[in-house]
Amino acid sequence: MDTRTKQKHLRAVRLLVHALEGHRSSLPAGKPICSVLSEGMAAAQALGFDLMAGEARAISGRTVAVGRGIDALFCPPASACGIERSLPRGDA
Residue 34, pLDDT above cutoff 90: yes
CA 57 to chain centre: 9
Whether this prediction's pTM lies above 0.75 is answered by: no
- Determine the Cα angle at 88 with ends 81 and 80, to 5°: 15
**pLDDT tens across 37-46, in order?**
999 999 999 9
Task: Report pLDDT for 60.
Answer: 75
In angstroms, the CA 44 to CA 12 distance is: 8
Task: Report pLDDT for 55.
Answer: 84
Burial class (CB in 10 A: 0-12, 13-18, 19+), 82: exposed
**pLDDT tens across 79-90, in order?**
555 555 566 666
Average pLDDT over residues 31-40: 93
